[in-house]
Each structure stands twice: as structure tokens, then as C-alpha cells.
Amino acid sequence: FALGAMGAPEPHGLEPVAELGVVLLLFAIGLKFDARTLLRKEIWLTTSVHIVLSTAVGLGFLGLLAVVGPALVADEPVSALALVGFALSFSSTVFVVKVLEDRSDTTSLYGRIAVGLLVMQDVAAVAFMALAGGQTPSPWALLLVLLVPAAWVLHRVWDRIGHGELQALFGLTVAVALGWGVFEAVGVDGQLGALVMGLLLAKHPSAPELSRSLMTFKDLMLVAFFLQIGLHGRPDLQDLLLAVTLLAVLPFQVAFYAILLWAMRLRRRTAFLAGLVLANFSEFGIIVASVGASAGLLAERWVVVISLAVAISFALSALVNRRGVELATRMVRLLPHHSTFQLHPDDRLVDVGQADALVLGLGRIGAATYSRLRDEYGMSVVGVEHDQARVTELEVRGFDVLRADATDVEFWARVKRAGRVGVVVLAMPFHNANLIALARLKAAGFTGKVAAVARYDDDVAELERHGADAVFHLYGSAGAALADHAAEVLAHRRGTGPGP
């Protein structure tokens, strides 16, 4: 944005790199998303009502500005102001998913709801672009339904590829060639195509691994996306002031999200978490404004103003979401409390019962820890996991698993009230998630012992500073365990082998 204000030219090739970053982001979202979520009432109904309410508020706000504000607003017809309100009703897929990934909350309930809302918004934006003449699908677009049976073939190919660089190349090929390329060729938005391809491959066992392997490419190319937003246009002071003024509609959008999700019988904390993470304007708003300007529905300067508003909303939302969990916890008092029986089945508080130990995060490390505590030490263990697919898999294997959010203060208050849990193991794959869970259980007054796992030396030190009783370095501890196992094998061989 600073470069754009100074009049710096856009680097050659920035646009295709930025678009490729968004394509990979949406493909990665699809890999981790259950398409059936879109059919749930809290997704499609909330999205539809929210777009209508946000557009109406945006139109009303711009109408007030037309009376006292700049000529750009006063000179526009009501239809143009409604289009601006519509463009501002979207939240940023790129920004929201990045926040969720940093919190390791992509598969949490509020994270899945937020992503579902974003997907529905993207569909609405694509529909507008088609109707406004931005991109009319060709008759060949009907053949895209053949991608559904083609997904079976891709699954079989994927089974034979294995792991490593070839798998990453497979993902890039599917996302860019089949997702972006094929959809663009038939006149459908290529970014939507990447999302669809991700959804079609999401059921494969290696989908999470592929998503992680694409993370470095995706993050690097998304830098170009954010640079492109900042370099868009050369605004004057009036454009900047108008863009800042447009941020006044963001609190209304947060309120609409929270109230609508609460009305869908979700907990107040879940509703506010989703609302806060969605408190930003979208890159799709820029695209909608650009298409509207190209179709003569909007003045060209609005593209610059909305681009500025999007960029500033990212900065503001980043500040808010640094403390998003704390803010959501404080804001729950603003809405009435649902009784347990009124709550959505997926959002009811869980009970740890008579557990002696809790294991948070049931990946390979967490599941192995659970088994060891149960089988070798005879402890009553409960696992906590927020990925429904993983919960189902472990329940089949005989694990006692609760689907819960480890950053939820109310969850830890219940653990404390149970009074029996003596040890908590933090085995979640993201360091920040373990830190937040540690802070939550300390804030709830938990007096038992806490063990955690970390990948890096500075992460070990940070967990210890925040009160963890035992922290195990992932690679160092694995080396010690390997040495012990090798020594046991050697001792067994000497004890049972033939004599001299």
C-alpha cells in the first residue's frame, strides 16, 4: 500500500503469481472441507440473510454520506450505491483462512462455519459476475459435471503416487490445470474451480498431507496477492478518507454474523468467534466492483476506494483477531444464554466424566500418548479432538474421544469442576494452539500437571515459561526413544542368541 501511494509501478508478472496463490489457497481449503457443510441451515441461510442485511446497511450508510459527503457518493444513483454495499458484504477468504491456520482452527466448529460462509459468498460473487457480463459461462461448462466421476480416477492415481515432491506436483497440477485452467476455459471463475477440485479430493486419506505440502508455495505466492491490493490505483486524500469511513459498516457485519449464528442455536462464543474472524472486506469485493465498473454500473474510482477499504480492513482485522479469542469470550454477555438442550448438537458443552488424564490433539503423537497412559499406566483417559473425521476414526478403534475446542474457557471450567483430572497432555500440532490451551486451563484454575510437545527449542522454553510442567522436544525425545528401543533389541538378541 505504501508503494502504491508513492506511485511505484506494479512488478511484471505480479498478477499471475497473485492469482496462483489464491488458486492454491482455495484448493487447500477444499482439501480440508466437507462439502456437506454447505447444505446446513447455519451456512446457506446465514449467508443469504447476511448478504441482504449487509447490503441494506451499506446502502443506507452510503445514502447518509450522499447527503453530507463527497461528490463521488452524491453523484451515484441508488443502484450503484447498492452495488457498493453488495461488494462490501463479503469477507476475505484469503485473510480469514490465514487467521484460522495460524490458530490451527480450520477444522474447529467456528472455523468450519466461517469457511462455509466464505464459500457461499464466493458462489454469490461468481453468480453476480456471470449476470453482470463479467464472465459468461459457455455451453461447454455443462461438461464440468464429468469432474465428479473423474475424481475417482484422480483418487486411484493419487494412491500410486506416494509421498514427497511427486505428491506436491500432483496437487499443483490438479489445482492449476484441472481447477483453474479447465474452469477458465469454459467461462467459469478459475478460483472457484480450484475450490471444487479440492472438495472432490477431500476424502482421500492423504488430503491433509497434500495441503501441508502446498503451504510453502501458497504462502509465498499470497505475498504477491497482498502486494497487488496495495498497488491497485493511486488514491488521493478524498479516496483514502472515504475508504476509512466505509470501515464503519464492519461492526454491523460482525453483529449480523453473531446474531444470525446465535439464532441458529450456536453458542454465543462460537457465534462471536466466527463474526470476529469475518470482520474484514474481501478481495472478491474488489472483483465485483471492477466487473460493475466494466459493465457501466459503477464509477471507476470506486474500485480504488474499495481496494483501499479492503487493505485497511485487513490491517484492522489483524489487530482485532490477535485477541479474537479473548474478545469473543468477553462479548458473550451481549446475547442471551441458550440452555444446553436448545444448543446445536455440534456445539454442546462436553463432560469429561471421571477421567484421570486428558490428551488434547489426537494425531499420531496424541494417539500414542493416549494408548500408553491407558494400557501401561492403567489411567482413565479422554482424548479431545476437533476434527470430526479423526474423532470418528478413533472411536472405531476404541478411543474415548470428545469433540471440543481446547481454547474454550467454558470447556476448561468443566474440567476443573470435574475435579478428578490430574494430568493434561498438549499434543496439538501447532505451537500456538498449545499455548492458548495452556493459558485457558491456567485461567480456569486447573491445578494438575501439564505436559506438552514442541518442535523447536524456543517453543520448549516458551511453554515452560507459561507453566507447563514437562515439555518434550519432538525430535530430541524421538531420538532418545529410538536409542532405548535399539538397546532393548540388542539386549534381547544377546539374551536369546546362540552361545560362543
What pLDDT shows up at residue 272? 94
pLDDT tens track of the chain, all 500 residues?
677 777 777 788 888 888 888 788 778 878 877 777 778 888 999 999 999 999 999 999 998 888 876 767 877 888 899 999 999 999 998 889 888 877 767 777 888 899 889 988 877 877 787 667 556 678 888 888 898 899 999 999 998 887 778 888 999 999 999 888 998 888 887 878 888 898 899 888 888 788 878 877 887 887 887 787 677 656 778 888 899 999 999 999 999 999 999 999 898 888 999 999 999 999 888 878 877 887 788 888 888 899 889 989 999 999 998 888 788 888 988 988 887 777 777 777 677 777 889 999 888 889 999 999 999 899 999 998 877 778 888 999 999 988 877 766 667 766 666 667 889 999 887 787 788 888 878 877 788 899 999 888 889 899 999 989 999 887 776 777 778 778 878 777 766 555 44
Return the C-alpha cell found at 51. Answer: 448478504
pTM of the predicted model, to two decimals? 0.71
Delineate the domains of the chain, giving CATH numbers in brackets. 2-334 (1.20.1530.20), 349-496 (3.40.50.720)
Half-sphere exposure of 445 (CA within 13 A, CB side): 7
- Residue 486 Cα distances to 266, 372, 480, 482, 496, angstroms: 51, 19, 10, 6, 16
Helices (H), 397-471: 409-418, 431-443, 457-465
Contact by Cβ (8 Å): 42, 249: no
d(CA 331, CA 267): 12
Which residues does 184 contact at the CB level (< 8 Å), separation at least 6? 190, 193
Q: For residue 43, give the amino acid letter.
A: I
Return the C-alpha cell found at 429. Answer: 500440532
What pLDDT shows up at residue 499? 47
Q: Render 75-113 in DSSP notation, one character per residue.
A: TS-HHHHHHHHHHTT---HHHHHHHHHHHT-TTSHHHHH
